[in-house]
Amino acid sequence: MAQAQTQAPTPASDNREILAEDLVQAVIARMADCEDARFKQVMASLVTHLHAFAKEIQLTPPEWMTAIQFLTATGQKCDEKRQEFILLSDTLGLSMQVVAIAQASGAAKVSSGPGTGTPLMGPTEATVQGPFYWEGAPELPLGSDLGTDVPGEPTYYHGRVTDTAGKPIAGCAMDVWSSDSEGFYDQQKGDDAPMQLRARFYTDANGNYHYWAIKPAMYPVPVDGPVGAMLTRLGRHPFRPGHMHKMLSAPGYQKLTTHIFVSDSKYLDSDAVFGVRNSLIVDFQAQPPGKAPDGRVMDSAYHTAHYDFRLARGA
Ligand code: BEZ
Ligand code: FE
């Protein structure tokens, strides 16, 4: 008969195992030598929330492996023109959460800024940048038409850029970009496709801008990757309402990345990336053929879209 084995209790110093309930603290304790306080704070919070998430949903090993394969596929889908991780962040609402946090901290700076005697209005609301910004778009004179050779309903875009007290900002750079009337950006039209429907303008001495383009159509976010598969599995549609992207920057002001949305577009109530703000919805007013506000004679109907932008002071 085998002799019963008696095991001496392990001295505390020899006990190397970390209990599940102590894991979070153990991981955070390993960050003790981290010299970057913000990075340490971010990582400690991330670890805390990740563990809480796994415990809350009782994550199984096969489920975790599926998630790892999904994240791997998301990374593999990225290249210089395609950013699947941004799309993932956008479709999970995280990009808009980060935009809202940034704008709330900017707004706090505006309201506590030096008084001018004029009541301060908040800056124009920001929204997601999206993946189709293309650095180096042509700088064009005010009044240029981006819609030549692009099918779509001609639209005259105009308005003014001011600070939050209504003072005009001259020489403000305004990058604009949009999809065509079928919902495609130039970057989606093949490797050699030239830039289309994008430009940089500068406001005039009174802060005014005007240019021609087309009325943008609603379109789906790219769905030929893992994020598209995720949306399908979640029973979600991939569409965004029609919008024109705008990025405004001027020395001494906070950069603004936003859109204006077409008021009669489908999907304003269910934008796939949660980017709609009421204050950014613009009536694209139908105009009969005839003389446009800039004197151009239109032989067919067109639209006008008016929007005034306000920038907050700051770097
Ligand atoms: C866009 O508006 O261009 C966009 C934004 C987020 C995801 C995909 C596209
Ligand atoms: Fe877009």
Q: What is the pLDDT of residues 246-278, one digit of tens each?
A: 999 999 999 999 999 999 999 999 999 999 999
Q: Is 172 in the pocket of ligand 1 (CB under 6 A)?
A: no
- Distance between Cα 277 and ligand 1 center (Å): 15
Q: Which two three-digit tokens encode residue 164?
A: 């939050």
Question: What is the crossing angle of helices 84-91 and 61-76, to 10°?
Answer: 120
Reported as a pLDDT band with limits 50, 70 and 90, residue 33 is very high
Q: Is 132 in the pocket of ligand 1 (CB under 6 A)?
A: yes
For ligand 1, atom 9: residue with the closest CA: 130
- Distance between Cα 240 and ligand 2 center (Å): 8
Q: Is the pLDDT of residue 123 over 60?
A: yes
Which pTM value belongs to this model?
A: 0.88
Among the ranges given (12-16, 136-140, 187-191), the one the predictor scored with the smallest mean pLDDT: 12-16
pLDDT in tens, 48-97: 999 999 999 999 999 999 999 999 999 999 987 788 999 999 999 999 99
Q: Is 221 in the pocket of ligand 1 (CB under 6 A)?
A: yes
Q: Is the pLDDT of residue 284 over 80?
A: yes
What local confidence, expressed as pLDDT, does residue 227 receive?
A: 98
- Distance between Cα 216 and ligand 1 center (Å): 13
- Distance between Cα 221 and ligand 2 center (Å): 8
What would the mean pLDDT of 157-182 be, rounded to a whole number? 96
Q: Is the pLDDT of residue 1 over 60?
A: no
Reported as a pLDDT band with limits 50, 70 and 90, residue 113 is very low
Which amino acid belongs to residue 105? S
- CA-based nearest residue to 259, from 307, 200, 204, 210: 307
Number of other CB atoms surrounding residue 254 within 10 Å: 20
Q: Pick the residue with more confidence: 9 or 132?
A: 132
What local confidence, expressed as pLDDT, does residue 40 receive?
A: 98
Residues 6+ apart with CB under 8 A from 151: 180, 181, 182, 214
- Distance between Cα 5 and ligand 1 center (Å): 66
- CA-based nearest residue to 262, from 277, 246, 281, 286: 281
| pLDDT > 70 in the chain, percent | 91
- Looking at domain 80-311, its CATH superfamily turns out to be Aromatic compound dioxygenase (2.60.130.10)
CATH 2.60.130.10 placement within the chain:
80-311
Q: Is 209 in the pocket of ligand 1 (CB under 6 A)?
A: no
Cα Rg, the chain, nearest whole Å: 26
CA 222 to ligand 1: nearest atom:
8
CA 86 to ligand 1: nearest atom:
7
CA 221 to ligand 1: nearest atom:
8
- Distance between Cα 243 and ligand 2 center (Å): 6
Among the ranges given (55-59, 112-116, 196-200, 292-296), the one the predictor scored with the smallest mean pLDDT: 112-116
Q: Pick the residue with more confidence: 188 or 153?
A: 153
Bridge partner list, 305: 157
Say how far apart CA 282 and CA 243 lie, in whole Å. 9
Reported as a pLDDT band with limits 50, 70 and 90, residue 117 is very low
Which amino acid belongs to residue 96? M
Q: Is 244 in the pocket of ligand 1 (CB under 6 A)?
A: no
